[in-house]
Homo-oligomer: A and B are copies of this chain.
Protein backbone atom coordinates (compact mmCIF):
# COMPACT_ATOMS: atom_id res chain seq x y z
CA UNK A 1 0.00 0.00 0.00
CA UNK A 2 2.92 2.27 0.43
CA UNK A 3 2.20 5.24 -1.68
CA UNK A 4 5.79 5.25 -2.82
CA UNK A 5 8.95 5.76 -1.67
CA UNK A 6 10.70 8.47 -0.52
CA UNK A 7 12.11 11.80 -0.85
CA UNK A 8 10.26 13.67 -3.43
CA UNK A 9 11.22 17.27 -3.61
CA UNK A 10 14.03 18.56 -1.49
CA UNK A 11 16.32 20.51 -3.70
CA UNK A 12 18.27 17.87 -5.41
CA UNK A 13 15.32 15.52 -5.28
CA UNK A 14 15.75 12.57 -7.48
CA UNK A 15 12.83 12.19 -9.78
CA UNK A 16 10.25 10.43 -7.70
CA UNK A 17 7.06 8.72 -8.69
CA UNK A 18 4.59 11.04 -10.40
CA UNK A 19 2.27 12.74 -7.96
CA UNK A 20 -1.44 12.41 -8.30
CA UNK A 21 -3.47 15.53 -8.87
CA UNK A 22 -4.56 15.61 -5.27
CA UNK A 23 -1.03 15.20 -4.07
CA UNK A 24 0.12 17.98 -6.30
CA UNK A 25 -2.56 20.29 -4.97
CA UNK A 26 -1.63 19.36 -1.48
CA UNK A 27 1.98 20.10 -2.17
CA UNK A 28 1.03 23.40 -3.72
CA UNK A 29 -0.94 24.53 -0.70
CA UNK A 30 1.86 23.41 1.53
CA UNK A 31 4.20 25.65 -0.38
CA UNK A 32 1.75 28.53 -0.22
CA UNK A 33 1.51 28.17 3.51
CA UNK A 34 5.26 28.30 3.76
CA UNK A 35 5.34 31.42 1.63
CA UNK A 36 2.59 33.13 3.56
CA UNK A 37 4.26 32.25 6.83
CA UNK A 38 7.50 33.66 5.56
CA UNK A 39 5.82 36.93 4.65
CA UNK A 40 4.05 37.21 7.97
CA UNK A 41 7.05 36.30 10.07
CA UNK A 42 9.28 38.70 8.19
CA UNK A 43 6.81 41.55 8.35
CA UNK A 44 5.26 41.20 11.75
CA UNK A 45 7.74 39.01 13.50
CA UNK A 46 7.32 35.46 14.67
CA UNK A 47 5.58 36.37 17.90
CA UNK A 48 3.57 39.06 16.23
CA UNK A 49 2.18 36.60 13.76
CA UNK A 50 -0.78 34.42 14.63
CA UNK A 51 -1.70 31.27 12.83
CA UNK A 52 -4.85 33.08 11.86
CA UNK A 53 -2.79 35.79 10.14
CA UNK A 54 -1.17 33.20 7.97
CA UNK A 55 -4.46 31.52 7.17
CA UNK A 56 -6.15 34.83 6.49
CA UNK A 57 -3.46 35.81 4.03
CA UNK A 58 -4.25 32.67 2.07
CA UNK A 59 -7.97 32.81 2.55
CA UNK A 60 -8.04 29.42 4.20
CA UNK A 61 -9.40 28.37 7.53
CA UNK A 62 -6.81 28.44 10.24
CA UNK A 63 -7.60 24.89 11.17
CA UNK A 64 -6.32 23.87 7.78
CA UNK A 65 -2.89 25.03 8.78
CA UNK A 66 -2.66 22.15 11.19
CA UNK A 67 -3.37 19.63 8.48
CA UNK A 68 -0.14 20.67 6.84
CA UNK A 69 2.15 21.51 9.70
CA UNK A 70 2.49 20.26 13.18
CA UNK A 71 2.37 23.58 14.92
CA UNK A 72 3.57 27.13 14.76
CA UNK A 73 7.09 26.24 15.69
CA UNK A 74 7.21 23.55 13.09
CA UNK A 75 6.67 25.85 10.18
CA UNK A 76 9.57 28.13 10.92
CA UNK A 77 11.93 25.31 10.15
CA UNK A 78 10.24 24.81 6.83
CA UNK A 79 10.31 28.51 6.06
CA UNK A 80 13.98 28.68 6.77
CA UNK A 81 14.74 25.54 4.84
CA UNK A 82 12.81 26.98 1.95
CA UNK A 83 14.71 30.22 2.13
CA UNK A 84 18.02 28.45 2.20
CA UNK A 85 17.00 26.46 -0.83
CA UNK A 86 16.22 29.67 -2.61
CA UNK A 87 19.58 31.12 -1.66
CA UNK A 88 21.57 28.03 -2.44
CA UNK A 89 19.91 27.49 -5.79
CA UNK A 90 20.48 31.13 -6.70
CA UNK A 91 24.12 30.76 -5.84
CA UNK A 92 24.41 27.48 -7.66
CA UNK A 93 22.95 28.99 -10.79
CA UNK A 94 25.49 31.73 -10.89
CA UNK A 95 28.63 30.02 -9.84
CA UNK A 96 30.67 27.32 -11.25
CA UNK A 97 31.60 25.32 -8.21
CA UNK A 98 35.04 24.75 -9.63
CA UNK A 99 37.83 25.69 -7.36
CA UNK A 100 39.60 28.65 -8.91
CA UNK A 101 43.15 28.14 -10.01
CA UNK A 102 44.48 31.68 -9.78
CA UNK A 103 44.03 34.63 -7.52
CA UNK A 104 42.35 36.53 -10.31
CA UNK A 105 39.92 33.67 -10.84
CA UNK A 106 39.21 33.54 -7.15
CA UNK A 107 38.63 37.27 -7.10
CA UNK A 108 36.11 36.88 -9.83
CA UNK A 109 34.46 34.05 -8.04
CA UNK A 110 34.13 35.98 -4.82
CA UNK A 111 32.66 38.81 -6.77
CA UNK A 112 30.10 36.57 -8.40
CA UNK A 113 29.16 34.98 -5.11
CA UNK A 114 28.93 38.22 -3.20
CA UNK A 115 26.96 39.86 -5.94
CA UNK A 116 24.56 36.98 -6.21
CA UNK A 117 24.07 36.81 -2.48
CA UNK A 118 23.42 40.48 -2.04
CA UNK A 119 21.17 40.55 -5.09
CA UNK A 120 18.94 38.01 -3.45
CA UNK A 121 18.82 40.10 -0.32
CA UNK A 122 18.12 43.21 -2.32
CA UNK A 123 15.32 41.55 -4.19
CA UNK A 124 13.64 40.48 -1.02
CA UNK A 125 15.06 42.01 2.11
CA UNK A 126 12.59 40.00 4.12
CA UNK A 127 14.90 37.04 3.69
CA UNK A 128 17.61 38.72 5.67
CA UNK A 129 15.13 40.04 8.17
CA UNK A 130 13.75 36.61 8.88
CA UNK A 131 17.05 34.81 8.84
CA UNK A 132 19.12 37.27 10.77
CA UNK A 133 16.67 39.18 12.92
CA UNK A 134 13.78 36.88 13.61
CA UNK A 135 14.96 33.32 13.57
CA UNK A 136 17.66 33.54 16.24
CA UNK A 137 15.18 34.95 18.73
CA UNK A 138 12.62 32.23 18.47
CA UNK A 139 14.39 29.44 20.16
CA UNK A 140 17.73 28.08 21.22
CA UNK A 141 17.49 25.54 18.46
CA UNK A 142 16.89 28.11 15.78
CA UNK A 143 19.59 30.30 17.14
CA UNK A 144 21.89 27.34 16.79
CA UNK A 145 20.67 26.74 13.29
CA UNK A 146 21.43 30.29 12.26
CA UNK A 147 24.82 30.39 13.88
CA UNK A 148 25.47 26.98 12.40
CA UNK A 149 24.59 28.35 9.03
CA UNK A 150 26.99 31.21 9.46
CA UNK A 151 29.64 28.78 10.54
CA UNK A 152 28.98 26.60 7.55
CA UNK A 153 29.37 29.56 5.26
CA UNK A 154 32.64 30.37 6.96
CA UNK A 155 33.77 26.81 6.57
CA UNK A 156 32.85 26.89 2.91
CA UNK A 157 34.82 30.05 2.39
CA UNK A 158 37.67 28.61 4.41
CA UNK A 159 37.74 25.68 2.02
CA UNK A 160 38.29 28.02 -0.88
CA UNK A 161 40.99 29.82 1.04
CA UNK A 162 42.73 26.59 1.92
CA UNK A 163 42.61 25.68 -1.72
CA UNK A 164 44.20 29.00 -2.59
CA UNK A 165 46.94 28.38 -0.07
CA UNK A 166 47.53 24.88 -1.41
CA UNK A 167 47.63 26.04 -4.97
CA UNK A 168 49.85 28.87 -3.93
CA UNK A 169 48.06 32.05 -4.84
CA UNK A 170 47.33 32.77 -1.20
CA UNK A 171 49.99 33.14 1.46
CA UNK A 172 50.90 30.03 3.37
CA UNK A 173 50.50 31.72 6.72
CA UNK A 174 46.91 32.76 6.11
CA UNK A 175 44.63 31.94 9.02
CA UNK A 176 42.09 30.49 6.68
CA UNK A 177 39.26 29.89 9.10
CA UNK A 178 39.32 33.21 10.86
CA UNK A 179 39.88 35.05 7.63
CA UNK A 180 36.89 33.24 6.21
CA UNK A 181 34.85 34.39 9.17
CA UNK A 182 35.88 37.95 8.60
CA UNK A 183 34.93 37.74 4.94
CA UNK A 184 31.62 36.27 6.00
CA UNK A 185 31.08 39.24 8.22
CA UNK A 186 31.41 41.58 5.30
CA UNK A 187 28.58 39.82 3.56
CA UNK A 188 26.53 39.86 6.73
CA UNK A 189 27.03 43.55 7.05
CA UNK A 190 25.98 44.04 3.47
CA UNK A 191 22.80 42.11 4.05
CA UNK A 192 21.96 43.99 7.22
CA UNK A 193 22.65 47.30 5.58
CA UNK A 194 20.26 46.35 2.81
CA UNK A 195 17.54 46.07 5.42
CA UNK A 196 17.91 49.63 6.55
CA UNK A 197 18.33 51.27 3.27
CA UNK A 198 16.30 49.31 0.74
CA UNK A 199 17.18 51.72 -2.06
CA UNK A 200 20.91 51.35 -1.61
CA UNK A 201 23.29 50.31 -4.33
CA UNK A 202 24.63 46.99 -3.17
CA UNK A 203 26.95 46.92 -6.18
CA UNK A 204 29.01 49.70 -4.68
CA UNK A 205 29.15 47.89 -1.42
CA UNK A 206 30.40 44.76 -3.09
CA UNK A 207 33.12 46.69 -4.84
CA UNK A 208 34.29 48.29 -1.64
CA UNK A 209 34.18 45.03 0.29
CA UNK A 210 36.02 43.13 -2.40
CA UNK A 211 38.68 45.78 -2.52
CA UNK A 212 39.08 45.62 1.22
CA UNK A 213 39.16 41.87 1.07
CA UNK A 214 41.69 41.63 -1.70
CA UNK A 215 44.07 44.48 -1.18
CA UNK A 216 43.26 45.85 2.24
CA UNK A 217 42.78 49.43 3.23
CA UNK A 218 45.97 50.78 1.80
CA UNK A 219 46.01 49.06 -1.56
CA UNK A 220 44.37 50.06 -4.77
CA UNK A 221 42.48 47.92 -7.23
CA UNK A 222 44.42 48.28 -10.46
CA UNK A 223 42.76 47.15 -13.63
CA UNK A 224 44.58 43.90 -13.72
CA UNK A 225 43.77 43.24 -10.16
CA UNK A 226 47.33 43.05 -9.12
CA UNK A 227 48.16 44.22 -5.68
CA UNK A 228 51.19 46.40 -5.68
Complex partner residue of A205 from B181, B189, B193, B216, CB under 8 angstroms:
B181
Q: Is the interface of A mostly helix, strand, loop or mixed?
A: helix
A208 close to B (CB within 8 Å)? yes
Number of copies: 4
The B-contacting residues of A in range 122-156, CB under 8 angstroms, are 129, 132-134, 136-139, 143, 147-148, 150-151, 154
Which one, A13-21, A30-38, A77-85, A168-176, is touching chain B?
A168-176
Per-residue interface assignment for chain A, residues 156 to 192, with 1 indicating a CB less than 8 Å from any chain B CB and 0 otherwise: 0000010010000111011100110111111111101
A58 close to B (CB within 8 Å)? no
A side interface size, CB within 8 A: 59
**Chain A residues at the B interface, C-beta cutoff of 8 Å:** 45-47, 103, 129, 132-134, 136-139, 143, 147-148, 150-151, 154, 161, 164, 169-171, 173-175, 178-179, 181-190, 192-193, 195-196, 204-205, 207-209, 211-220, 227-228
